[in-house]
Amino acid sequence: MGIDPGLTRCGLSVVKTGRGRSLKPVAVGVARTPSGAPLTERLLTLSDAVGEWMDDYEPDVVAIERVFERGEVSTVMHTAHAVGVLVLAAARRGLEVHMYTPSEVKKAITGNGRADKAQMTSMITRILGLGEAPKPADAADALALAVCHAWRAPFLAATGGPDNPAATPAQRRLAEARQKAKRTPNAWKTAQRTIPARGGGPR
Amino acid sequence: MGIDPGLTRCGLSVVKTGRGRSLKPVAVGVARTPSGAPLTERLLTLSDAVGEWMDDYEPDVVAIERVFERGEVSTVMHTAHAVGVLVLAAARRGLEVHMYTPSEVKKAITGNGRADKAQMTSMITRILGLGEAPKPADAADALALAVCHAWRAPFLAATGGPDNPAATPAQRRLAEARQKAKRTPNAWKTAQRTIPARGGGPR
């Protein structure tokens, strides 16, 4: 599962890994919260939305964009608050979380850490064999994060990186919690759905 | 309830309002998470700790320090993630959250927005009639936030500020949720406990 974190718009996506580098899109959407509502309500709405996705799609792992101190202060802080809530939703379900910077994602997808939006969208559309480019940008970014992790995970595992389930006691505990939390392990209930499967989508 | 947010150390406090500006300390402590643990585990631990405090003490309202982009980037981001989780814990229990900047807290307690640590600690000790200065700093800061809100709340209500329960439909919904979430409304089960009542405390 790939998440482009945000409080006003949060991109959510699920992809399924196949043989080698092959990937199938499962779902993509955007969770929105009204910018005029109190922070309490907005975080509650976001938490419920991402929790529902996690329960519906039962991902193996969650990839989230790492937030930097760039741009307008209150937007950055709101996004960082959202990340806390998103990571907590994963933790409650025993899911591992991996964070990637925007340039790591760009490099993984296009080979160039400074690729522009158009290049990224075009690559994501091709990699996932989509009929049309994913919209809005948050949805496309969420797919890019999922693809980035799927392609980097085998490398990380081979080098004993954070993806190795036996790497640390903490990760073993997480893996155990995950097994407990999963009602139907490895069941990709919705693998046949086409994009956009639910939530946001183009508007 | 006053919260000095943090991931490594999070100050927690509860005070009870009396007549006029009189206040009684109810509890103070610090929730800690190990800096070497994965973010998932740390946020889970913090969420459970603050949730337990909220369930035990059933506060009417929560005051949290507003995070700014100051200091080391990853610390600021960790604190901002923690705030997301803390606000969510309040929201799940239908509690209103108010945020105050450090200088607002200092001004409310000492009359001076640039008061130093020693002045703040001395005032908090006197205001709450404590036998000794609260330690560590995070615990003292949490008490200062609770006092700041308790003293500012009547003013905010009088001016139709965010404390007025009828101010907006969103706040009415929160108040309703709060009534539903509370098992024993307005019961300060632990009002007689003395400081340090539980959790951290001076070490």
Burial of B48 (0-12, 13-18, 19+ CB in 10 A): middle
Side chain identity at B157, as an amino acid letter? A
**Total-model pTM:** 0.79
Q: Which of A174-178, B38-42, B139-143 has the lowest mean pLDDT?
A: A174-178
Given this model, what pLDDT does residue A73 score?
A: 80
A15 close to A150: Cβ distance less than 8 angstroms: yes
As beta bridge partners, residue A10 has A31
% of chain A residues with pLDDT over 90: 67
pLDDT at residue A165 above 60? no
Q: Which residues of A touch B92 (CB under 8 A)?
A: 44
Q: Indicate the residue of B44, B85, B95 with minimum beta-carbon distance to A85.
A: B85
pLDDT at residue B185 above 50? no
When scoring A74, A75, A81, A93 by the number of chain B Cβ atoms within 10 A, the one with the most, hence best to mutate, is A81
The mean per-residue pLDDT over the stretch A13-42 comes to 94
Cis peptide before A165 (omega within 30 of 0): no
Provide the 8-state DSSP code for B107. H
Given this model, what pLDDT does residue B2 score?
A: 98
Given this model, what pLDDT does residue A200 score?
A: 39
What string of DSSP letters covers B32-91? E--TTS-HHHHHHHHHHHHHHHHHHH--SEEEEEPP-S-S-HHHHHHHHHHHHHHHHHHH
Side chain identity at B179, as an amino acid letter? Q
Q: Which residues of B touch A37 (CB under 8 A)?
A: 170
Rounded distance between C-alpha atoms, residue B197 and residue B101, angstroms: 27
| Sequence-separated (6 or more) residues with CB below 8 Å from residue A148 | A2, A63, A100, A104, A105, A108, A109
Greater confidence, A155 or B162?
A: A155
Contact B170 A77 (CB under 8 A): no
Query: Is any Cβ of chain B less than 8 angstroms from the Cβ of A34?
Result: no
Greater confidence, B125 or B190?
A: B125
Contact A81 B83 (CB under 8 A): yes
B92 close to B127: Cβ distance less than 8 angstroms: no
Please tell me the number of Cα atoms within 13 Å of B59 on its side-chain side.
30
The mean per-residue pLDDT over the stretch A139-151 comes to 96
Greater confidence, A70 or A16?
A: A16
Rounded distance between C-alpha atoms, residue B183 and residue A32, angstroms: 31
User: What tokens appear for A113 in the block?
Assistant: 């850490």
Rounded distance between C-alpha atoms, residue A95 and residue A115, angstroms: 30
Most confident range, picked from A8-12, A155-159, B69-73: A8-12
Side chain identity at A97, as an amino acid letter? V
Distance (Å) from the alpha carbon of A126 to chain B's nearest alpha carbon: 33
Rounded distance between C-alpha atoms, residue A15 and residue B176, angstroms: 39
Q: Which residues of B touch A101 (CB under 8 A)?
A: none
Provide the terminal-to-terminal Cα distance of chain A, rounded to the nearest Å. Answer: 22
Element containing residue A13 per DSSP (H, E):
strand A9-17
pLDDT at residue A18 above 80? yes
Given this model, what pLDDT does residue B140 score?
A: 94
The mean per-residue pLDDT over the stretch B113-123 comes to 94
Q: Which of A188-197, B102-111, B176-185 has the lowest mean pLDDT?
A: A188-197
A143 close to A15: Cβ distance less than 8 angstroms: yes
Greater confidence, A101 or B155?
A: A101
**In this predicted model, what pLDDT tens digit does every residue of A28-81 receive, in sequence order?**
999 999 999 999 999 999 999 999 999 999 999 999 999 876 777 888 999 999
Domains of chain A by start residue, with CATH: 2-152 (3.30.420.10), 161-203 (no CATH)
pLDDT at residue A179 above 70? no
Given this model, what pLDDT does residue A167 score?
A: 46
Other Cβ atoms less than 10 A from the Cβ of B120: the count is: 21
Q: Which residues of A touch B95 (CB under 8 A)?
A: 40
User: What tokens appear for A57 in the block?
Assistant: 């799609």
Rounded distance between C-alpha atoms, residue A86 and residue A45, angstroms: 11
**Strand ranges (E), A114-185:** none
**In this predicted model, what pLDDT tens digit does every residue of B9-45 receive, in sequence order?**
999 999 999 888 899 999 999 999 999 999 999 999 9
The mean per-residue pLDDT over the stretch B113-128 comes to 94
As beta bridge partners, residue A82 has none
Contact B77 A92 (CB under 8 A): no
Burial of B131 (0-12, 13-18, 19+ CB in 10 A): exposed
B2 phi/psi in degrees, rounded to 5: -115, 135
Per the annotation, the verdict on A104 as an active-site residue is no
Catalytic residue among A96, A138, A141, A163: A138
Query: Could you give the angle at which helices B137-158 and B102-110 cross, rounded to 10 degrees?
Result: 80
Say how many residues make up chain B: 203
Given this model, what pLDDT does residue B19 score?
A: 85
Rounded distance between C-alpha atoms, residue A181 and residue B44, angstroms: 14
Distance (Å) from the alpha carbon of B170 to chain A's nearest alpha carbon: 7
Greater confidence, B51 or A177?
A: B51
Given this model, what pLDDT does residue B68 score?
A: 78
Given this model, what pLDDT does residue A168 score?
A: 55
The mean per-residue pLDDT over the stretch A105-110 comes to 96
